[in-house]
Amino acid sequence: MLNNNGNLFRFSGLLIQLQPYLQRHKPSVIVISGPSGVGKDAVIKRLREEADVKGRAFINVHTHLETHHRKTSQKGNLRGSFHNQQIRDILRHGENHPVLQKLGIEILTNLALEEEATERIGGAGGVLKEFFNIFLKQGLPEHQNHVRRAAGEALAMLSLESRANCHRILRLQVLEKLVAALEVPLLRVNAARILRHLCTYSGSDCFYGLKGVIEAAPTVLKAIMSKENKLQEVMVGLAAQVFKRMTSTESSIMFERAGMKEDELARALVRILDKYKHPWAKIPRIRQFAVELAIWMMHENVKNVYILKDLGMEK
pLDDT tens, residue order, the chain (315 aa): 333 333 323 222 333 333 333 333 333 333 333 444 445 556 556 556 655 543 333 334 333 333 333 443 344 444 433 445 666 777 887 777 788 788 888 888 887 888 888 998 898 878 999 999 999 998 888 888 999 999 999 999 999 999 999 999 999 999 999 999 999 999 999 999 999 999 999 999 999 999 999 999 999 999 999 878 899 999 999 999 999 999 999 999 999 999 999 999 999 999 999 999 988 899 999 999 999 999 999 999 999 999 999 998 865
Going 58 to 62 to 63 to 69, the CA torsion angle's sign is positive
DSSP state of 12: E
- Supply the pLDDT for residue 39: 54
Helix 84-92 with 127-136: angle, nearest 10 deg: 10
Q: If you count them, how many residues does the chain have?
A: 315
Residue type, position 123, single letter: G
The SS3 call for residue 197 is helix
Q: For residues 238 and 232, what is the distance between their CA atoms, to the nearest angstrom?
A: 10
